[in-house]
Chain A
Amino acid sequence: MNLRFSLSRFVAVLWKEFIQMRRDRVTFGMMIGLPIIQLMLFGFAINADPRHLPTLVEVNDDGPLTRALLAGMDTSGYFDFIGQVRGPDAGEEALRRGEANFIVVIPADFERDVVRGLRPNLLIAADASDPSAVSGAAAAMSGIVNGAIAQTLTGPLSPAAGAPLPFEVIVHRQYNPEGKTSTNIVPGLLAIILSMTMVMITAVAIVKERERGTMEMLISTPVTPLEVMLGKILPYVFVGYVQTAVFLVAAFAVFQVPFTGTFTAFFFGFNLFVLGNLALGFLISTVAKNQMQAMQLSFFTILPSILLSGFMFPFAGMPGWAQTIGTGVPATHFIRLIRKVMLKGAGTFDVTAELTALGVIVLVITVVAMLRYRQTLD
């Protein structure tokens, strides 16, 4: 037997492999296209030091120091003032609904108390359910404060500018007072776990039937597409329920993540999200030719769920176009919803925006999947 290495045999195998690679268009596209897309997408979109965070002000006093302070915050780039609120309840509400990440409260008689040296409190309420979104901005505050002081407390007022600071900045980290990362990550993890298993299992389960030829037998019987779709998907809804039950117990018992909101809000959001993932899996199965492709395509849908949804990195920190893409990802809305429900004590009313968004996404994916699904082998 000739055991010598043959270059021509080696080249023949190499060449054959390239030909096969080129013939498998979908996989080839994934190998070349996806890394580029992902690099562009995530390289530019992910920002661990988010700026332009929506901020509301509750102004109970007005004067040069207040204006200098707010102008300083605005020019720092961390805070985007989106309006004013009246009273603490409105601020609280906006924070819980996720409309703002910060509420800056200028107390009454702020300017007078500063000049008198009474060291009034300047309250910044921050949504710390995503600690990384808040920490950068909070850290930037001291510089902003110093700048504002240097600018306004001059001349006769300069004695008030001396150390210690003429007023105290209190950052109130709400919903996650200790700034624990697990409090932020754990609720979002449910979205990721469900995305991974639901999308992949559904896609593979359906493609498997086609690949093994059993789909041909199945659709040669009088069975209808709806029967096949429901019959194949519902077992995995059950799997999703089991996963979620295990998750909730673990979140509470192991990570001490509270569940402060209403179960109804969670239940609606959870079911919509599972449905959306299953529909997405079904859609993938109409594109993928074999189980390998189904796996790869599923995996591709999971990356945006992790990186663009606000799970790993603050959503508000991403550029506008990335936020637009993120808005189309079901996990984005489910992560917001579950953080609101578990950490901020939200009820169904507080999560209507997320429920609506999830509903629209589910509807769109289902319609596209149904349009692509063929009852015949065409």
Chain B
Amino acid sequence: MSEERVIDVRGLTKRFGDKTVVDHFDIAVPKGAIYGFLGPNGSGKTTTIRMLCGLLLPDEGEGQCLGFDVRRDAGKIKAEVGYMTQKFSLYEDLTIRENLDFVARMYGVKNRKSRVDGALADLGLADRAGQLAGTLSGGWKQRLALAACLIHDPKLLLLDEPTAGVDPKARRDFWDEIRRLSKAGVTVLVSTHYMDEAIQCDFITYIAYGKKLIDGRATEIPTMVGLTTWRAEGPELVALEEQLKGQPGVDQVARFGSALHVSGTDAVALAATVAKFQKTKRQRWSEVPAGLEEAFIYLMAGARDNFSRDAA
């Protein structure tokens, strides 16, 4: 991966009224990377993405996106970015072909007819091109939306929770496509709630309250969080879970399939607690390397629900 940075912004800040939605956010995304954007609802993911593609003007901060200034050159950035909104935002009362054709016109795509035909063929929708977009199912709408934001061959894809409400098979296909694009040199910034999607990212940043909590290579995140994890297998896990909570060194207990993962940042205290429970010999205990999932459950638990602030 080259060191060329497609996005490089510092101190990005956005306030709505007296609420700071994004607070001095820095991000540097290398070319061709898949950058995962994680965080609870209302943490400022969508606002950040909107600022990056010029839909919102940042109150503070500076930097470049695709070599253009994020404050002054929003128009130039827009021309080379494909932005997929959280909600389906194509025209439901236009047909599939009309939608693709309209978006292609907006970007001034050359050889529009053949480009749209190609996109329809790739989608496998060539024979349904005359169908109204509003009549498509959720999964198909999502594929159409992706095809629409790829129609002008963007260098950067901004995907805002692209797989929300889409079935697992469609999600898998979607991510195959994202990886293929990434290999072809397209940079992808994607926000998601799904752990299995986060694992597929090269880099991950986790934000809460509009503040960045952690940022790094996906493989390094667990080490950065600094968790030690023990795995317990066997019967009576529900009772065990209750007993473990609040014990010294235990920061979180999470169910992973048929096992219980007990994690904490204080390795010594955790080992002592585990040793105490090992004596009962009811469950099999083993120390395992902390994964991304434990890391994020830990981060999420640390960040209170952002909506609670709205209620005040």
**Which residues of A does B touch, CB under 8 Å?**
212-214, 216-224, 376-378
**Which residues of B does A touch, CB under 8 Å?**
50, 53-57, 74-75, 78-79, 81, 83, 85, 87-92, 103, 106-108, 148
Question: What are 22 sample pairs from A and B whose C-beta atoms fall under 8 A apart?
Answer: A212-B92, A213-B85, A214-B89, A216-B89, A217-B89, A217-B90, A217-B103, A217-B148, A218-B106, A220-B54, A220-B55, A220-B81, A220-B83, A221-B103, A222-B78, A222-B107, A222-B108, A223-B106, A224-B75, A376-B55, A376-B74, A378-B56
Smallest CB separation, A256 vs chain B (Å): 42
Once bound together, how far apart are the Cα atoms of A365 and B74, in whole Å?
A: 28
Once bound together, how far apart are the Cα atoms of A299 and B90, in whole Å?
A: 29
Chain B hits for A218, CB < 8 A: 106
Chain B hits for A212, CB < 8 A: 89, 92
Known: A213-B85, A213-B87, A377-B50. A220 touches B56 (CB 8 A): no
Which of chain B's residues has its CB closest to A220's CB? B83
Known contacts A221-B107, A222-B79, then 18 further A-B pairs from the complex at CB < 8 Å, ordered by chain A residue: A213-B85, A213-B87, A213-B88, A213-B89, A214-B89, A214-B91, A217-B83, A217-B85, A219-B55, A220-B81, A221-B78, A221-B103, A222-B108, A223-B106, A376-B56, A376-B57, A377-B55, A378-B57
Which of chain B's residues has its CB closest to A219's CB? B55
Chain A hits for B79, CB < 8 A: 222
Chain A hits for B55, CB < 8 A: 216, 219-220, 376-377
In contact, A222 and B50 (Cβ under 8 angstroms): no
Chain B hits for A224, CB < 8 A: 75
Once bound together, how far apart are the Cα atoms of A223 and B79, in whole Å?
A: 9
Chain A hits for B57, CB < 8 A: 376, 378
- A221 partner, pick from B56, B88, B92, B106, beta carbons under 8 A: B106
Which of chain B's residues has its CB closest to A214's CB? B89
Known: A213-B88, A214-B90, A377-B50. A222 touches B75 (CB 8 A): yes
- B53 partner, pick from A213, A220, A223, A378, beta carbons under 8 A: A220
Which of chain B's residues has its CB closest to A209's CB? B91
Q: Which 3 A-B pairs have the closest CB atoms?
A: A217-B89, A221-B106, A220-B83
Chain A hits for B87, CB < 8 A: 213
Once bound together, how far apart are the Cα atoms of A213 and B92, in whole Å?
A: 11
Question: Of B74, B78, B106, B148, which is in contact with the most chain A CB atoms at under 10 Å from its CB?
Answer: B106
Chain A hits for B148, CB < 8 A: 217
Question: Of A214, A220, A376, which is in contact with the most chain B CB atoms at under 10 Å from its CB?
Answer: A220
Chain B hits for A376, CB < 8 A: 54-57, 74
Which of chain B's residues has its CB closest to A223's CB? B106
Smallest CB separation, B44 vs chain A (Å): 14
Once bound together, how far apart are the Cα atoms of A378 and B92, in whole Å?
A: 25
Chain B hits for A223, CB < 8 A: 106
Smallest CB separation, A219 vs chain B (Å): 6
Smallest CB separation, A61 vs chain B (Å): 73
Once bound together, how far apart are the Cα atoms of A217 and B149, in whole Å?
A: 9
Which of chain B's residues has its CB closest to A377's CB? B55
Once bound together, how far apart are the Cα atoms of A218 and B85, in whole Å?
A: 11
- B78 partner, pick from A214, A216, A220, A377, beta carbons under 8 A: A220
Once bound together, how far apart are the Cα atoms of A346 and B8, in whole Å?
A: 65
Once bound together, how far apart are the Cα atoms of A213 and B86, in whole Å?
A: 10
Once bound together, how far apart are the Cα atoms of A221 and B83, in whole Å?
A: 9
Once bound together, how far apart are the Cα atoms of A29 and B103, in whole Å?
A: 38
